[in-house]
């Protein structure tokens, strides 16, 4: 698996000696182009067209984050995998309302059932979540009766609300109360962590989509119109609870990130670079951890599980096998 | 797998060997590179180097580790380069 | 998909004798995992030998490693790394021989496995032609099917770049 390189420093990215080269005030460094799959840019980095051409040729995707840590956009090199058949099927399933709902429902169901797994785990460990668990179960049961996207979205919102409301019980960290979900800007520390983690998740799924025949612009739960990418948002829903949220609980539990790692910025709260690095490092490690996969018969990393999820969606689209979302075992 | 690559080649081919190796590995210090490498890239790197070096004059040695468990890396003096996913 | 859009070539013949599911996927341009070790190396060595002008003799879209004449006529030969997929290799070569015969060129074929010091002769017999035409029809039937043939776990799956797609 090729690596993700995270750039926090300000500097220049260049093509030099047929490989990638980063130059900042403190360092000059060559990066092995054959081993880089994606770049995540947080610092003030400048680059030229020659560099982009090289990245495109090497199929390296570049994600940009703003000074505040928000996702800004990606350099998504021209599609290198193309299957007319797959694109037609993907669009066909979007245009047919019935088919679209069937897929969207699986995404919501996957997200909800993974939330349930997280809740179960913490209910066993710290208790006090069983009421929420019951509610989540009820909503999961009701998903089959949701026959339009807005009802599905509402059900999902409902689950997420209840889920977030027990974050205080899970984190047991008075410095990081949940209060309420706030975005752009997030207004407290925990919300800042959630937003940051979620944006990373969206880009990671996008990078995986790039390595399949799927078109990231056609999503099912998140409407395709107006947004540049939406399929990555759909799939990220499934993985947010078991990847992003678990990393949040872990960095807070181990006090790897504290309130001193944040600063106020206008209306919102912003992470300092040190905290971002810590978070990214933990997330990167999480994505590399492996779990046993029955079908494949050997351990696969969480990162690979995301790819497999895309393959499953492809098989659904070509009419081979109904898509069932990945549910964590614990 | 993890590899350490060291080379001692004719000055005419030093730049070529360095440039090729840098596409796959991280430069550590003069004539030494290291890094995680995939099976495919390992084959590619060796094939590229084979076409550059002169078997009569040059020497490239690659130490291969299946994992870095039971190994440690100690540095004396300054750290000049190495593998890091953060910049 | 109208008929004339699919041209059953040597590649599909090859895959037909390896895995029929692969024929369907390839026919729909659903290519295998590009990060797979064998896929990367295959691409790399193809580019390399291309650059070095590997001595190939081209007949239209067909390329042969060796072309020579003996007292019985023309012989076209292909060098293979191993005889692992000998059936595929044989049928692919037979297919090329048949294509040549369609252009009025009569030739015999030879598969060479230098590492195994082995040589296999392929002669275009009526029976072989029948098999090929049958395979060609079957390939079209597979590709026109709306869904791919079901995945079957075989020995070759272990090194196949489609494995994760099939078993996910």
| Binned average pLDDT, 10 residues per bin, chain C of 168 residues | 61 90 92 89 75 64 79 84 86 88 87 86 89 91 93 88 93
pLDDT band per the 50, 70, 90 thresholds, residue A97:
very high
Task: State which H helix or E strand residue A262 sits in.
Answer: strand A262-265
Name every chain B residue with its beta carbon within 8 A of the beta carbon of A32. 22-26, 35
Strand order in the sheet with A11-16: A28-31, A19-23, A11-16, A45-46
- Which SS3 state, helix, strand or coil, does residue B72 take? coil
- Residue C19 tokens read as 């895995």
Verdict on whether the full-model pTM lies above 0.85: yes
| pLDDT for the residue numbered C2 | 44
CB contact under 8 A, A30 and B25: no
Q: Are C91 and C98 in contact (CB under 8 A)?
A: no
Q: At what angle do helices A246-253 and A273-288 cross, to 10 degrees?
A: 120
Lowest mean pLDDT among A12-26, A229-243, C46-60: C46-60
Q: Are A204 and A77 in contact (CB under 8 A)?
A: no
Q: Is C28 on the interface with A (CB under 8 A)?
A: yes
Contacts of A274 (CB under 8 A, 6+ apart): A261
Distance of CA A196 to the CA centre of its chain: 10
Name every chain C residue with its beta carbon within 8 A of the beta carbon of B44. 40-41, 44
CB contacts under 8 A, C 46-65 vs B, are: 48
pLDDT in tens, A60-78: 999 999 888 889 999 999 8
Q: Which of C28, C35, C164 faces A308 most closely, judged by CB atoms?
A: C164
Distance CA A301, CA A286 (A): 9
Name every chain A residue with its beta carbon within 8 A of the beta carbon of B27. 30
pLDDT band per the 50, 70, 90 thresholds, residue A80:
confident
DSSP, residue by residue, C65-101: SEEEEETTEEEEEEE-S-STTHHHHHHHHHHHHHHHH
Give the rounded percent of residues in chain A with a pLDDT score beyond 70: 99
| pLDDT for the residue numbered A226 | 64
| pLDDT for the residue numbered A225 | 65
Start-end of H helices in chain C? 10-16, 20-27, 37-51, 86-102, 126-144, 163-167
- Residue A73 tokens read as 């956009």
> How many residues make up chain A in this entry?
330
pLDDT in tens, A26-48: 889 999 999 999 999 999 999 99
Is residue B45 classed exposed, middle or buried when 0-12, 13-18 and 19+ CB atoms within 10 A define those classes?
A: buried
Interface residues from chain B to A (CB-CB < 8 Å): 18-19, 22-27, 35-38, 41, 44-45, 81, 85-87
Q: How far does C80 lie from chain B, in Å, by closest CA?
A: 19
Strand C73-79 and strand C107-113: pairing? Answer: parallel
CB contact under 8 A, B36 and A3: yes
| pLDDT for the residue numbered C1 | 47
Q: Which of B39, B41, B47 faces C48 most closely, judged by CB atoms?
A: B47
| pLDDT for the residue numbered C3 | 46
| pLDDT for the residue numbered A174 | 84
């Amino acid at each position: 698996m090729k690596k993700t390189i995270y750039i926090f420093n300000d500097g220049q990215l260049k093509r030099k000696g047929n490989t990638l080269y980063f130059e900042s005030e403190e360092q000059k460094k060559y990066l092995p182009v054959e081993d880089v799959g994606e770049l995540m840019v947080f610092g003030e980095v400048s680059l030229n067209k020659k560099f982009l051409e090289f990245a495109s040729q090497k199929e390296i995707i570049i994600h940009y984050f703003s000074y505040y840590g928000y996702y800004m956009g990606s350099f998504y090199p021209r599609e290198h995998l193309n299957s007319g058949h797959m694109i037609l099927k993907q669009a066909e399933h979007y245009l047919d309302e019935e088919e679209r709902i069937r897929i969207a429902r699986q995404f919501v169901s996957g997200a909800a059932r993974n939330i349930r797994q997280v809740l179960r785990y913490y209910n066993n460990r710290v208790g006090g979540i069983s009421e929420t668990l019951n509610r989540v179960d009820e909503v999961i049961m009701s998903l089959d009766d949701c026959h339009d996207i807005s009802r599905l979205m509402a059900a999902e919102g409902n689950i997420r609300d209840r889920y977030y409301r027990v974050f205080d019980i899970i984190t047991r960290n008075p410095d990081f109360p949940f209060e309420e979900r706030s975005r752009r800007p997030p207004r407290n520390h925990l919300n800042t962590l959630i937003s940051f983690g979620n944006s990373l998740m969206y880009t990671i799924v996008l990078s995986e989509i790039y390595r399949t025949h799927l078109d990231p612009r056609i999503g099912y739960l998140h409407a395709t119109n107006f947004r540049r990418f939406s399929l990555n948002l759909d799939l990220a829903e499934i993985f947010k609870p078991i990847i992003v949220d678990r990393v949040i609980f872990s960095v807070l539990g181990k006090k790897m990130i504290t309130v001193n790692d944040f600063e106020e910025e206008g209306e919102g709260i912003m992470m300092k670079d040190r905290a971002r690095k810590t978070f990214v490092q933990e997330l990167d490690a999480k994505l590399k951890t492996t779990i046993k996969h029955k079908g494949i018969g050997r351990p696969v990393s969480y990162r690979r599980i995301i790819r497999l999820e895309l393959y499953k969606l492809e098989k659904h689209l070509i009419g081979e096998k109904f898509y069932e979302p990945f549910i964590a075992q614990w | 797998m993890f590899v350490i690559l060291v080379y001692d080649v004719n000055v005419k081919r030093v730049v070529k060997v360095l440039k090729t190796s840098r596409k796959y590995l991280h430069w550590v210090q003069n004539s030494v590179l290291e890094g995680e490498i995939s099976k495919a890239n390992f084959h590619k790197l060796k094939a590229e180097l084979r076409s550059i070096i002169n078997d009569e004059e040059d020497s490239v040695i690659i130490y291969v580790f299946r994992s870095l468990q039971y190994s440690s890396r100690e540095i004396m003096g300054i750290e000049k380069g190495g593998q890091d996913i953060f910049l | 998909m109208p008929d004339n859009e699919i041209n059953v070539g040597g590649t599909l013949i090859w895959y037909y004798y390896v895995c029929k599911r692969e024929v369907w996927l390839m026919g729909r341009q659903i290519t295998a995992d590009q990060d797979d070790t064998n896929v990367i190396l295959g691409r790399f060595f193809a580019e390399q030998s291309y650059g070095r002008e590997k001595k190939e003799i081209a007949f239209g879209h067909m390329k042969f490693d060796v072309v020579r004449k003996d007292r019985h006529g023309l012989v076209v030969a292909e060098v293979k790394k191993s005889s692992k997929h000998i059936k595929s290799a044989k049928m692919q070569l037979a297919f090329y021989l048949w294509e040549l015969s369609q252009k009025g060129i009569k030739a015999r074929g030879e598969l060479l496995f230098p590492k195994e010091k082995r040589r296999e002769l392929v002669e275009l017999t009526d029976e072989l032609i029948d098999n090929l035409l049958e395979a060609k029809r079957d390939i079209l039937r597979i590709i026109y099917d709306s869904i791919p043939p079901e995945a079957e776990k075989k020995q070759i799956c272990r090194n196949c770049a489609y494995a994760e797609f099939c078993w996910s």
